[in-house]
Amino acid sequence: MNQIHHMNFGWLHAPPFPPASCHGLVVQTNLSLILVDTGIGMHDIANPEERIGVEAIQAAGFQLLPQFTAIRQLESPGFSSDDVSDIVLTHCDPDHVGGLADFPKARVHVSAEEKHNLFSGNPRYNLTQFSHGPRWVEHALDDSDTLGLPSRSVITASGLEIRLVPLFGHTTGHCGVAVIREGEVLLHVGDAYYLRDELNNPEHPVGQLATLRADDNQQRLASLEALRRLVSAEHPNLSYFGYHDVTELPPNIERYAVD
């Protein structure tokens, strides 16, 4: 039994901009649970200024809502932190990794480039979020092909086919995460785009924000163009989504209530 559950692991809202999601995945297998990104965590909510920082909280509009954390959502149907064997990260920005500390026994898969960037002194990261000592597994070599894109095999306890797909630029080691099941490819593109409309509109205004947030904007644009080519090929077995576009959330996911 392999089931893939879309979940939202937190909300960001910095008016006048609309709310943004933290759209991740829970892959349920007979052996364990696997998470793709972790959103805002319980330790973030307990110590937000230390773990995230006042400037980042205000700029991105972190909403500190326990009911949306991955651990609380998994506990509701009876799972525990120990049931999560592996976490696959698109990258290490604070809104993607806050929940890591809620699953301290899980192996944490990341590209080697992102792991290096994390500990390089880049101010976009807050190392306090990693003070619990994650069980890192770095992936450095492209060893597979995913619908024409180079990718890196991620070995988990489940044996399910999961790959990191380099989509560098937003951060130096930013990757998409492909979950492959019975020939179907589900691609989490992370922050390779903020809004799905960017794929159809190269001049979309949100591109200005993406440019400001990019470690390497030329790489970011190249990755976005690679996604455009992939989508335009209309692979019948491909579905994809990003982290922040609320319109890509399944309708059963609770929305953030805007006052």
pLDDT attached to residue 257: 74
pLDDT attached to residue 256: 84
Q: Let me know if residue 30 belongs to a domain.
A: yes
The boundaries of the domain holding residue 204 are: 3-248
pLDDT attached to residue 127: 98
- pTM (2 d.p.): 0.97
Could you please report the per-residue DSSP string of the chain? --EEEEEEEEEE--TTSPPEEEEEEEEE-SS-EEEE--BS-HHHHHSHHHHT-HHHHHHHTEE--GGGSHHHHHHTTT--GGGEEEEE-S---HHHHGGGGG-TTSEEEEEHHHHHHHTTT-TT--GGGGTT--EEEEE----EEETTEEEEEE--TT--EEEEEE-TTSSTT-EEEEEEETTEEEEE-TTS-SSGGGGT-TT-THHHHHHHH-SSHHHHHHHHHHHHHHHHTT-TTEEEE-SS-GGGS-TTSPPP---
Cβ–Cβ < 8 Å for 163, 151 = yes
Distance CA 38, CA 100 (A): 6
pLDDT attached to residue 2: 84
Domain count, the chain: 1
Give me the residues of the chain with pLDDT under 50, please: none
pLDDT attached to residue 258: 64
Cβ–Cβ < 8 Å for 70, 62 = no
pLDDT attached to residue 259: 53
pLDDT attached to residue 136: 98
Q: Let me know if residue 11 belongs to a domain.
A: yes
Q: Let me know if residue 61 belongs to a domain.
A: yes
- The domain that contains 115 carries what CATH number? 3.60.15.10
Distance CA 119, CA 110 (A): 13
pLDDT attached to residue 21: 98
Distance CA 211, CA 245 (A): 17
Cβ–Cβ < 8 Å for 246, 20 = yes
Q: Let me know if residue 113 belongs to a domain.
A: yes
Q: Let me know if residue 80 belongs to a domain.
A: yes
Q: Let me know if residue 255 belongs to a domain.
A: no
User: Rounded to whole angstroms, what are the CA distances from 146 to 62, 143, 151?
Assistant: 33, 10, 6
